[in-house]
Chain A
Amino acid sequence: MRGRHFVYDLVEDTNVVKKPGMKIILNQFIDGVGETGDVLTLSPAKAYKNFLVPGLAVYATPENIAKYKVDENKPKDKSNFSSPYVQRTMRCLSRLVLQITMSKTEPWTLEPWHVRTSFRKAGFVVPEDTITMPPVKISGPDLSLQEKEFYVTVKINNKEEVNVRCRIHHWATGLEKLPWDEFHWKKPREPLIPEQAAELANIPLA
């Protein structure tokens, strides 16, 4: 045999071929995934890594289908949410400490568009009409507000409501500028409106 007898051609690279989905059965309730006995069809790599190795699911063998009494025609109970991603959005918003930057020198009254702008600065596009302002009128500049917090309510998809923790920061330049408070978003603050105190205590501060 000579070298010319060992010239090979690549016919197919099986590592880069898309693999068909694989069926697995959950053997316990997993938040955001499903309940015991639910059948998932996933890519083999994901199913293996995320469910089979940790022991959260089993292979859809005939024995396991009988064991977990799988009913594939079972109607999926309709979720009450307006979109599949709304829970994630709600979680993100409830984690947020919204800094509302207001002038330290010019007089102002807090309005929805201030809140909308602050949301946009924090990376959330929130239309004005979905924001419910606190029941009292907040106006400044008033440095005592710096140590207070309140919440606004945001309505997502005209259905779900989230309370977002807000704090007012007085902004100025030069010597007027307030000193930097390290990790201010982690520190607990007094509620501005006594009626909101209970609700604010419910929102976890990261």
Chain B
Amino acid sequence: MASSRIQATVRQLSNTFKKKSRFDIGIASELPPAYKKFWREWKVLKPAAVHFIPQESKWKRDELTGETLPVQNVPIPLKHPAEIHEGIWGGEAVIKGFQKRSDQRRRVPHYWVPVLKRTVVRSEVLNTHLSVTVTDRTINLINDHYGFDHYLLKTPACDLVSMLALKLKKQILIELMNGCPRYANNPQKQKEIYNEYKTYLSSYTPEEIEWYGLTWYEALSKVAKQKEAQNKPVPLKNIYRKKLVEKLKAAESEDKNDATEEISTTTSWLSKMNPFGKKDEA
């Protein structure tokens, strides 16, 4: 009896209790939905299968025993070294694992590292050539998308992975939002480029573009900076100075009213004092 009641309580609690996500703690709770959207695209979405061949069906039958087994498609855990953010690897990354080179031998640790090459990519919107570290897959993807800008704009952040690509994407979006100012000397080309790429703008609002491609710490510091700018503390000395000036002004106007009251006419004993006179005079 008691145990079932405990179970029920646990069930109820587990339904009501919500674990705090990273967006619920501290200053992160003030991040705008625009950044949450980017974060979702970057970290929550499942990246495309690059290092394994996904199987289509949901179930498969064992040929020997006729047993039905579920198809799992577990992605291989990837290592993202710091260098991944200095190039555009097209979703490839480093794999850490083991190789079984012979049945007679112990398995050997092995790192599978993508073949990197330095090449030039051309960005039409930015009107520049860039020298970047890429893999063959990146070049294939650029070709499949008919251009570097199309590749960046069409690919979600989880597949771009590298910060370089995300920053470039953000810059391209800003450029498009401003109507390609780099082609200001050639209005016809400017219009052509804008018309070619403007479809991508429809999926972002200006605020989302502003918050696109920011790392977690960049986003947090952006929030902190905004907050600081909003309630910037006014130094007390300024407030007091203002009050004093007002007071003095008020006093002056009062003084004018009481101008008729001369000091000499007052009978106060203080006025008779002459601190600079001689001693015996006093």
User: Could you list which residues of chain A lie within 8 angstroms of chain B, going by C-beta atoms?
Assistant: 3-4, 6-12, 14-15, 19, 22, 44-45, 47-49, 52-53, 55, 59, 61, 63
Classify the interface of chain A: helix, strand, loop or mixed.
Answer: mixed
| Chain B positions 89 through 107: 1 when the CB is less than 8 Å from some CB of chain A, otherwise 0 | 0000001111110000001
**Contacts A48-B143, A53-B120, A55-B122: A14 and B97 contacting too (C-beta < 8 A)?**
no
**Contacts A7-B98, A11-B53, A14-B136: A49 and B143 contacting too (C-beta < 8 A)?**
no
- B98–A3 CB distance below 8 A: yes
Q: How far is the CA of A9 from the CA of B76 in the complex (A)?
A: 12
B139 cross-chain contacts in A, Cβ below 8 A: 44-45, 48
Classify the interface of chain B: helix, strand, loop or mixed.
Answer: mixed
Asked if B85 CB lies within 8 Å of chain A CBs, one says no
- How many residues of B are counted as interface, with CB atoms below 8 angstroms from the partner's CB atoms? 27
Known: A6-B98, A48-B143; 7 extra A-B contacts, CB below 8 A, are A6-B97, A7-B107, A8-B97, A15-B115, A59-B147, A61-B146, A63-B196
Complex partner residue of B99 from A8, A15, A49, CB under 8 angstroms: A8
Q: How far is the CA of A19 from the CA of B100 in the complex (A)?
A: 29
Chosen A-B contacts, 17 in total, with CB atoms closer than 8 Å, are A3-B98, A3-B107, A4-B98, A7-B97, A7-B99, A8-B76, A8-B97, A8-B99, A8-B110, A10-B112, A14-B136, A14-B137, A15-B115, A19-B140, A22-B143, A53-B120, A53-B129
User: Could you list which residues of chain B lie within 8 angstroms of chain A, going by C-beta atoms?
Assistant: 53, 76-77, 95-100, 107, 110, 112, 115, 119-122, 129, 136-137, 139-140, 142-143, 146-147, 196
Q: How far is the CA of A22 from the CA of B121 in the complex (A)?
A: 17
B129 to A, closest residue via Cβ: A53
B120 cross-chain contacts in A, Cβ below 8 A: 53
B100 cross-chain contacts in A, Cβ below 8 A: 7, 9
B140 cross-chain contacts in A, Cβ below 8 A: 19, 44
A7 cross-chain contacts in B, Cβ below 8 A: 97-100, 107
Tell me the smallest distance from the CB of B126 to a CB of chain A, in Å.
Answer: 14
